[in-house]
Amino acid sequence: MSRQQSRKTKADPILFSQQAVDIALEALGEIADDPASLGEHIGASKVGELVIHRFLSQATGYKGWEWIAALASVPGSGAITVNEVGLQAGKKATRAPEWIPYEDRVRPGDLGPGDTLPPRVDDERLTSWKDLGNNDGFPRNPSAPQTLSQRGLNEALQRWRTGAFGPNSEFAELAPMMCRTCAFYLPFGNEESNFGVCSNEFSADGRVVHATYGCGGHAETKDDTEIASTRAYGAFDDEGIQRFS
């Protein structure tokens, strides 16, 4: 290794002077939208032959960020050159969260009127009719160019089973009767799936419900007054005490 290569690079002392600070601040002022966003000088450090001057950022939304100006000088020339300016994140800077693709951010309920949500290119919920394999007996849409895959069906059944209209929901646990014996329950073609649609406008109308789900709107629910009329002692007269003269 030559003497020139082993010699440590030194920055011109002028790059640490107040003059250098002023030049750096002036250069940053040319790129800052608001001069007030340039805060106090918080330090200078040597990087090779350059000296990096840092200023606290007062820009809205950039807490902990720093304005930086990289200065250079030919030793002994007395001239300072601005090599680079910019805004960079400090060690405790507020940063935007890691970017997540839209298809990974969308959640159930996000789709609104007029929105479009095409399936993923490799959406495993869908498959071709040819690749569906053995039919599981669950009805599918024969008019669709592709069909629901076995995985797509299993995931849907799991959501329905554990959802608000599943067998373990609060309604189901408190219901005296189950959907499987209700006239409002319209089972799917495959009875083994234990799923159907509720047609009771006062209950889970239009929702997929489990056969062992239930509610107080069962078609065989009896009126309390009708039940009371079957009691041996009949109805209680609450018209008030009859007064006799």
CATH code at position 68: 3.10.450
Q: What angle do CA 19, 21, 25 make, to 5 degrees?
A: 120
Helices (H), the chain: 3-6, 18-29, 102-105, 150-162, 170-174, 224-228
Q: Which residues pair with 55 in a beta bridge?
A: 41, 67
Cα–Cα distance, 229 to 172 (Å, whole number): 28
Band the pLDDT of 101: cuts 50, 70, 90. confident
Decide which of 104 and 1 is more confident.
Answer: 104
Is 107 domain-assigned? no
Is 152 domain-assigned? no
Q: What is the mean pLDDT of the chain?
A: 87
Cα–Cα distance, 25 to 112 (Å, whole number): 49
Is 113 domain-assigned? no
Query: Would the pTM count as exceeding 0.85?
Result: no
Residue 99 identity (one-letter amino acid):
W
CATH code, 185: 4.10.490
- Among the candidates 71, 89, 107, a domain finishes at 89
Number of domains in the chain: 2
Kindly state the tokens that stand for 207.
């929702």
140-169 pLDDT, tens per residue? 999 999 999 999 999 999 999 999 999 999
Are 188 and 145 within 8 A, CB to CB?
A: no
Residue 184 identity (one-letter amino acid):
F
- Among the candidates 66, 89, 112, a domain finishes at 89
pLDDT at residue number 5 = 43
Residue range(s) defining the domain that contains residue 64: 10-89
